């Protein structure tokens, strides 16, 4: 798709039959345009689901922050799904867990942190109030506490210590239950969860941030023997949608086959989670193959971003090429049985953070805290275009003739 076509998409939204406030455009160079929002003004075209992290709230003034949250989560924003990483990940400001005491298999020291109480829980509660409890939250872990891992630290690759039916695996299964239980006691329940973020990254002992290794066989056994039964044993976790894989599409269909061909494991699993970072290596048709083999399990895109490649680790304000990448990938996924597509970060700062290891990337919204304003990028409007088309056609409408 060429830049001119992306501009046509933008102009399509600017048609007079839409009741909206127009973009306050600002140029950052040739063909680099964003829409500026601040405490008094913002255009009001809505996007589809992506990730919002608690830390971002601290960048915004009360009025600017409320405007951003409303634009994302008001009842008019018809489709929304938000990933809540529990404990820390690279987009935290530090490396931390909920149970830091070595050997605490009973998890007596388990506690939520200030990140949960100051940012995540208040945001989730606010999001549900704004959306009429229609926002779906799913949780993902990056690593167990360091004392549970073979490398002794959350950062870097490693696996859980000991045998797969031993105390470390049992404690890790109970860790999930404790997390969901603490959030439940604070008024937050989750729609879904993944078992492990990018489990194959845990093979690399020098991985730059939190990671932990599972292969498909290990994940199958963990679900079948420990995690699945534990989730079904609690009222606040028994209906959570459990998703396997949470890694690149190059793992498919083999990963799904290994887990879901075991009926005792499959009965606990609702879906298959995928990331987009190697989509150019393996065609989207593998998603259809996976669906055809496992039609009773949905496929959900759970992470995507631009600016992640070497030499690109930063936002590019107003960049249309990155919007084209989003649009192309979303269309490919949705055309191959994927039921949703999740952006990694709804908003980041001007550097592409916060990120405690400097793994900066781009986002649909970039916040300039010094100026108390934020910039809605072309990526935002690419997602908005898809969201509009899905919602409009689902209501029985037809897209305008000749429009692609």
Alpha-carbon distance 34 to 81, whole Å? Answer: 24
For the question of residue 95 being annotated catalytic, the response is no
3-state helix/strand/coil string of 18-29: CCCCCCCEEECC
Q: H helices within 223-348, ranges in order? A: 228-232, 254-260, 263-266, 285-293, 320-334
Q: What is the DSSP letter of 226?
A: I
- Closest by CA to 348, choosing from 27, 63, 56, is 56
- Closest by CA to 278, choosing from 244, 303, 299, 295, is 303
Cα distance between the two ends of the chain: 10
For the question of residue 303 being annotated catalytic, the response is yes
Q: Which two tokens stand for residue 251?
A: 């793992």
b/e burial code for range 26-47 (CB count within 10 A of at least 16 → b): eeeeeeebbbbbbeeebbebbb
Bridge partners, residue 81, by sequence: 136
Say which of 46, 55, 115, 198 is annotated catalytic. 198
Its sign, for the CA torsion 23, 26, 31, 34, is negative
If phi > 0 it is left, if psi is from -120 to 50 it is alpha, else beta; for residue 358 that is left
Q: Which two tokens stand for residue 286?
A: 């593998």
Say which of 55, 303, 324, 325 is annotated catalytic. 303
Report, as residue numbers or ranges, the catalytic residues: 198, 303
């Amino acid at each position: 798709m060429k830049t001119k076509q992306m501009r046509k998409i933008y102009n399509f939204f600017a048609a007079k039959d839409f009741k909206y406030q127009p973009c306050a455009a600002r140029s950052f160079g040739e063909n680099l345009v964003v829409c500026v929002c601040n405490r008094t003004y913002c255009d009001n075209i809505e996007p589809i689901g992506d990730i919002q992290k608690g830390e971002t709230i601290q960048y915004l003034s009360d009025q600017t922050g409320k405007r951003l949250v409303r634009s994302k989560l008001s009842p008019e924003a018809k489709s929304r799904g938000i990933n809540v990483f529990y404990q820390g990940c690279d987009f935290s400001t530090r490396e931390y867990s909920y149970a830091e005491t070595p050997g605490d298999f009973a998890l007596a020291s388990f506690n939520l942190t200030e990140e949960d109480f100051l940012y995540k829980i208040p945001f989730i509660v606010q999001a549900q109030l704004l959306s009429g409890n229609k926002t779906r939250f799913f949780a993902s872990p990056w690593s167990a506490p360091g004392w549970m891992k073979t490398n002794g630290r959350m950062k870097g690759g490693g696996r859980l210590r000991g045998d797969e039916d031993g105390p470390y695996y049992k404690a890790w299964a109970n860790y999930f239950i404790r997390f969901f239980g603490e959030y439940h006691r604070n008024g937050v329940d989750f729609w879904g969860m993944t078992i492990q973020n990018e489990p194959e990254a845990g093979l690399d002992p020098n991985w730059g941030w939190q990671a932990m290794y599972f292969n498909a066989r290990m994940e199958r056994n963990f679900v079948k023997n420990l995690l699945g039964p534990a989730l079904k044993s609690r009222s606040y976790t028994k209906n959570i949608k459990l998703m396997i894989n949470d890694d690149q599409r190059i793992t498919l269909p083999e990963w799904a086959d290994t887990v879901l061909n075991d009926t005792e494991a499959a009965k606990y699993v609702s879906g298959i989670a995928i990331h987009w970072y190697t989509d150019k290596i393996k065609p989207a048709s593998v998603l259809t193959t996976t669906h055809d083999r496992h039609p009773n399990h949905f496929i959900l895109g759970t992470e995507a971003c631009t600016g992640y490649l070497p030499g690109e680790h930063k936002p590019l304000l107003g960049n249309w090429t990155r919007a084209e990448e989003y649009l192309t990938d979303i269309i490919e996924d949705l055309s191959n049985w994927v039921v949703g597509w999740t952006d990694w970060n709804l908003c980041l700062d001007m550097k592409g953070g916060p990120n405690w290891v400097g793994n900066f990337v781009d986002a649909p919204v970039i916040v300039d805290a010094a100026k108390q304003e934020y910039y809605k990028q072309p990526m935002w409007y690419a997602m908005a275009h898809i969201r509009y088309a899905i919602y409009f056609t689902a209501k029985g409408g037809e897209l305008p003739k000749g429009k692609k």
